[in-house]
Structure 1
């Protein structure tokens, strides 16, 4: 007989498979229940809200992305090289698992404060990955001995590592989304299908994002 825990995991499995194959629009409670072979009310026994189930599905994506990040940075010893590896992994994941990628960062649809739940909060998956980027930005600056110099009144340049990390993340996320929508291929004259999807155009865009936020460095060999 299936245990409560195993049925809960099966509902998450089904939801993860659905979002991978059919996108976020497919993630209705009734459809997940139907594919899991349970009554349409069964998910409510394990997830008090639809948002709680969506958050559990998104955490699967973060676990996958975290494992990919760990593997990616293992090949580089420099903070900048690791940031480039993370950037390429991030935009690559977005192309490979578009539906899950779109779900993972929709905190407005998931377990923000307005969707209180006794389930683990999605921020527990999101923040550690962001803090990794913040730490690498700080390490890169320390290695480069980046000076702080006055900017606008009351400001200093460069901004705090967390701000730079957030701006870099926003840049990478924009690259991932605009590439998925075909906009960047149009502006760059790049192919919209085929191996170029994971090839030099995306490499160049990630490198340009790093230059914009960390300063020009030239080729990164790790």
Structure 2
């Protein structure tokens, strides 16, 4: 099945270019466009795309507000595509539940791959901002340990293993291979982990796993060069 995408950007030329680029891949279909955040939410509700490709700086309702509304209503996954890598945009988008964050300087192959990965339930963060993201959310241990995040104690041992894998940025197929389970089972465990922790994206789960020091299951660590978490 094709990945159905909604493109949200306030510049018609940018929307047209993104449509042309995405539809050059036979497995991707652009089902609609939006010129502002309010239209993005409305069109996401009407069209139910798999992925919303979201700009952040738009007139009226901005992209972060629109992202939160779309994710909270479970209308689609959101992949942010913006010119700006300012921390306020990066952290705001990811905290709003975006499944990924890319810069518009990304090449065509990277963008198409990111859309496919987000549609497959994975998280994507531009390499340019990964280090800052980790520095912002993962801090050295404090003299007095903070209480564990709400819901962490409710995870089963297997779900904690899955959370540890998410902390390494592993995709469902990688989690399945590491834990010797099927990919469908891995996907189910990921959904349960997010629900129990009150999270809306794998990126949020990865940050929580790192900050809470959730261990990686033996043999499940990513190999050097596998890419950023």
Q: TM-score, normalised by structure 2?
A: 0.28
Comparing both structures, which one devotes a greater share of its residues to strand? 2
Larger radius of gyration: 1
Q: TM-score, normalised by structure 1?
A: 0.28
Comparing both structures, which one devotes a greater share of its residues to helix? 1
